[in-house]
Each structure stands twice: as C-alpha cells, then as structure tokens.
Amino acid sequence: MLLLGLETSTSPASVALADERGVVAGAHLGRAGAHGRFVAAAMAFCWHHAGVDASDLTGVAVSLGPGRFTGMRVGVATAQALAHSRAVPVVGLASLDLIAFCARYARRPICAVIDARRGELAWAFYQPGAGGSRRRSEFRLGPPERLAGEIEAEREEVLAVGDGAVAHRGLLAAAGGEVGDAAAEPSATALVSLARERFQREETQRPEDLTPIYLRRPDARIAWDGRGALFGGTGQGGAPGVAANPTRKGPL
C-alpha cells in the first residue's frame, strides 16, 4: 500500500506519502496562497525522498473542505488527475475531521473550528472514543456568537480546536469551552492516517465522485443574482450557472 494525501483546503497546505506502517515522506507549506505550485513541488519531493514514483501509488486521499475555494479545487483536481492516470481509487475527507483527529485523545466533546473569514466560522462537534473521534453534528457556518451559544448549550465542557477557536478564545471560554493551546490545522499526515483504514476496508470512491464541501455560495453566484435585481429582474434570472464575474470565488 502506498497512499498520497493532499490537504489544500486552508491557507497552510501539505502533502504526505504513507504505507501500511505509517507516513514515509511529507512536505508542508506555511500561510501562503501558491497551492498549485506547492503541490507539484511537494509531490516531487515526496517521491524522491521515499524512493518511489507515481506508478507505485495504490490510492489517493484528499481533503474536501470546508475551506478556501481555490485551494479545495487544486487538491480535488490533482487527486482526480492522479487517480485517473494511475487507475487507483480515492478517499475524500472533511478538513474539520482532520482537525478533530488531532484531539482524538480528549476525554470530552470536541469542536473543530475553522476561520471562514467575513466574520464567520465553520465548525462541527465530535465525540471521542476508542476508535477515534466520531462526528455528531452537521457542518455549520455562522458568526462566532452562534458557536458560543452552541458550546454553552452542551452538557459538559467542550474542547475547541482550530484557528477559528484560537481567534475567538475569549468568547468561547466565556461560553464554557476550553480552547486548545495551539491552532490545530488540517494536515496531510492526519489525512493519510484516517484514509488508510478506509482503503483497507475498500470504502473508496471514484475520482469523478469527489465533491468539495461548500458551506457558502461563491461570490460569483451572489454577484450574478444581485445584478439581475439591479437591472429590474428578480435576482433569480440569467443563464443557469453563469456568473457576472467568474474570476471572483469566495471561500467555504
């Protein structure tokens, strides 16, 4: 077994190679936006240092978000191209699941939180257990105050992890949550660790079935709706799927 993991859904990005024993090579990009250039160079780095190449792959794992639109598309498109060219299966996992994986040894409920920008957060709640963390809520998008209310409504103290939790530490702590000391982020290392069991159980997907997790409509679609209303329409008209400014795409 040789798995490639691609995590490009947030500002940091990472690539990892893993076999049945664990991670054999990896590369990480800090808070920059050149995900496309990074992924190609990172894969070459991993092939070289692991002494393998793309022909040795048996599967590809990719983070589906929620996250930034452009980054998610880079990861998904790369995973689809590799999987098609090598005729191997894929596994797509949520970025919030990867953050919760970092806190899987907690003895209390976990809330993984991503900074969604525009004054909003993306989050989900998890229950730790012997086999890892199990997601027990839908993915949600909203203002920090809404998340604070949900944490306050929990029956026990919640461990909040992720850059969104760190950014609003005071608010979440006042609601009864404990915020992790470090801003946990989704990583390719966590991705291949979680995906390995899926591949072993043959719970895989076809490349064309990979779908990024969008919690917010792209700016381009919103711009088109607004333009329709501006010119006397209802804001619902226009050719389906056509945007007034197709170069603007929003996160999440």
Summarize pLDDT for 85-115 with one digit per residue, the tens. Answer: 999 999 999 999 999 998 888 889 999 999 9
In sequence order, which ranges of 124-209 are alpha helices (DSSP H)? 144-152, 163-167, 169-174, 188-200
What pTM did the predictor assign? 0.83
Peptide bond into 66 cis (omega under 30): yes
Instruction: Find residue 114's DSSP bridge partners.
Output: 122
The mean pLDDT of the chain is: 85
Q: Where residue 80 falls among pLDDT bands split at 50, 70, 90?
A: very high
Distances (CA, A) of 76 to 15, 19, 28, 48, 206: 13, 21, 18, 23, 12
Topology (CATH level 3) of domain 104-179:
Nucleotidyltransferase; domain 5 (3.30.420)
Q: Which two tokens stand for residue 175?
A: 């609601």
- 245: pLDDT strictly greater than 60: no
Tokens 């381009």 sit on residue: 220
Could you give the CA distance from residue 162 to residue 27 in angstroms, rounded to a whole number? 20
Residues 7-16: pLDDT tens digits? 999 888 999 9
Could you give the CA distance from residue 187 to residue 185 in angstroms, rounded to a whole number? 6
* pLDDT reported for residue 138: 95
Greater model confidence, 244 or 55:
55
Comparing 3-95+186-209 with 104-179, is the CATH topology the same?
yes
* pLDDT reported for residue 36: 85
Domain spanning 3-95+186-209: which CATH class is it, in words? Answer: alpha beta
Can you tell me the mean pLDDT for 24-44?
Answer: 88
Could you give the CA distance from residue 250 to residue 180 in angstroms, rounded to a whole number? 28
Residues 129-187: pLDDT tens digits? 776 789 999 999 999 999 999 999 998 999 999 999 999 999 999 999 999 977 689 99
Could you give the CA distance from residue 51 to residue 73 in angstroms, rounded to a whole number? 28
* pLDDT reported for residue 32: 62
Q: Which two tokens stand for residue 108?
A: 């209390």
- 244: pLDDT strictly greater than 70: no
Percent of the chain scored above 70 by pLDDT?
84
Instruction: Parse the chain into domains and list their residue ranges.
Output: 3-95+186-209, 104-179
Q: Which residues contact 197 (CB under 8 A, 6 or more apart)?
A: none
Could you give the CA distance from residue 16 to residue 180 in angstroms, rounded to a whole number? 24
